[in-house]
Structure 1
């Protein structure tokens, strides 16, 4: 394994743990909101914002995790009939001509909005809501950069020969 693929694997492991944590936070937080509202008659805007922030971060950070686990949605309906060499060729082509340009353009497109959000330290639109919405918005370009990193690592790994056991 190259340094790139090893580093990408470590980053994937960290991202996956973050996603698992966020999923647990969403579950526990939503249960607390339901119990507080319907048992005790209490609303808790901050907790609802924390759940919404966690969900937004989970959705975008789940993209690179799904890519590495090969769990993402594929458009090519004939993939099941393709040989391994053909699958690798399609994956390489998709990485170079679709994944890298699309996620690179997404970073370029959202960067001004992220910079503005940071400059005003954007917070929840709800009265009494949580601060830090700018941190949640930052997960989009981070996830895009992780997609590019994992795509390049997969591209490089596709040229490595499998080790004989």
Structure 2
């Protein structure tokens, strides 16, 4: 089980390593936009949309990586009081009852919009913007897929931890 979990982890580790550079690109494009606007009085809509696209891509594709490194905010008053066994149980319950069902629902309900956007090759959000809204919408099922992959890896790892502790007891 741990070998499969490690393989699933590698997917989000690779995606995280790639998309982290979007943060730098986003800062540089935003800096250029500000300089052009306030120093030279020039504004380009495509530059503003570039920041939007970079921001959306970074946060949507880094969701699975954030779960991998346990970077999501936990709103659970009992989790911190639990030992490793209790934490593993809470994590498995949360992934099976909340994470996976919500990701499947979001993917299911967003798919018609994504499919239609690709069918018409949906264009720019604003006149003069980037003519690729279909790519932005595609981030939704990608986000769901990456979180499902990482959720499964976390479940496998937690089940292995519980099995080890049962065997030791």
TM-score, with normalisation over the residues of structure 1? 0.91
Pairing of 1:1-165 with structure 2 (within 5 A) = 2-160=2-160
Structure 2 residues without counterparts, runs of 5 or longer: 165-169
| SS of 2:153 mapped into structure 1 | helix
Contact 1:53–1:133 (CA<8 Å) still a contact in 2?
no
Higher relative contact order (CA 8 A, sep 6+): 2
| SS of 2:20 mapped into structure 1 | helix
Structure 1 residue 130 displacement after superposition: 0.7
Structure 1 residue 66 displacement after superposition: 1.4
Cα 1:80/1:3, change in 2 over 3 Å: closer
After superposition, what is the alpha-carbon deviation per residue over 1:130-152, rounded to whole angstroms, capped at 9, x for unaligned? 11111111011111011111111
Structure 1 residue 19 displacement after superposition: 2.6
User: Relative to structure 2, which stretch is displaced further, 51-60 or 3-12?
Assistant: 3-12
| SS of 2:62 mapped into structure 1 | helix
| SS of 1:51 mapped into structure 2 | helix
Counterpart-to-counterpart distance in 2, 1:27 and 1:125? 21
Structure 1 residue 69 displacement after superposition: 0.9
Higher share of residues assigned helix:
2
Counterpart-to-counterpart distance in 2, 1:154 and 1:137? 27
TM-score, with normalisation over the residues of structure 2? 0.89
After superposition, what is the alpha-carbon deviation per residue over 1:95-152, rounded to whole angstroms, capped at 9, x for unaligned? 1111111100110000000001101111222111111111111011111011111111
Counterpart-to-counterpart distance in 2, 1:83 and 1:2? 20
Structure 1 residues without counterparts, runs of 5 or longer: none
Aligned pair count reads: 162
Counterpart-to-counterpart distance in 1, 2:45 and 2:84? 51
Runs of 4+ in 1 over 4 A off after TM superposition: none
Contact 2:79–2:90 (CA<8 Å) still a contact in 1?
no
